[in-house]
Structure 1
Amino acid sequence: MRKWKQDEAVLQSVVCNRCGKQLKVENGVLKEGCLQVCQTFGYFSAMDGTKVRFDLCEACYLELKKSFLIAPQEEEATELL
């Protein structure tokens, strides 16, 4: 869950929705690994029109990934600074 400073586009805090861990944010920049999910369900879904957002810390993502029958696609990405 992300909180932003009111009337500004500055990130204030990020909390893991699964375990409640407060992730490190400095000067509006997230300084820890985090999986952010933002999904809007479409016409053929029972949740049509519902937008879901949540954040998972790395530890919770790794635990969730263990429960998958088929592993998610992962690939090396160029780090942009």
Structure 2
Amino acid sequence: MRKYSSEQQEKQMVKKIICNRCGKEISAENGIRTEGVFSVDFRWEYPADKDGERHQFDLCESCYDRMTAEFVVPVEME
């Protein structure tokens, strides 16, 4: 979840990011985050039951590692 600075609405400058899983707050200086964040912005399409819905969330690096550790097929990394 992203929180934006009220004085920079036209630029949508990120003030802080909150991990949707654990609630950890990750600060941003001048719109640049201070830690690694995994961000998802996905719009579901037909034939999904969620067709037309847009889902957005952010995970801190720790929560990303916990989530991907549960995958049966590992994440491909380069």
How many residues end up aligned between the 2 structures? 75
Partner of 1:5 in structure 2?
5
Alignment of 1:2-81 (within 5 A): 2-6=2-6, 7-9=9-11, 10-75=13-78
How high is the TM-score relative to the length of structure 2?
A: 0.88
Could you tell me which runs of 5 or more consecutive residues in structure 2 were left unpaired when the two chains were aligned: none
How high is the TM-score relative to the length of structure 1?
A: 0.85
* Larger relative helix fraction: 2
RMSD (Å) for aligned C-alpha atoms: 1.1
Amino acid of the structure 1 residue aligned with 2:29? E
**Structure 1: distance between partners of 2:65 and 2:27:** 18
Following superposition, which runs of at least 4 residues in structure 1 exceed 4 angstroms of deviation? none
Could you tell me which runs of 5 or more consecutive residues in structure 1 were left unpaired when the two chains were aligned: 76-81
**Structure 2: distance between partners of 1:31 and 1:60:** 16
Give the fraction of aligned pairs with identical amino acids, expressed as a percent.
37
**Structure 2: distance between partners of 1:18 and 1:62:** 12
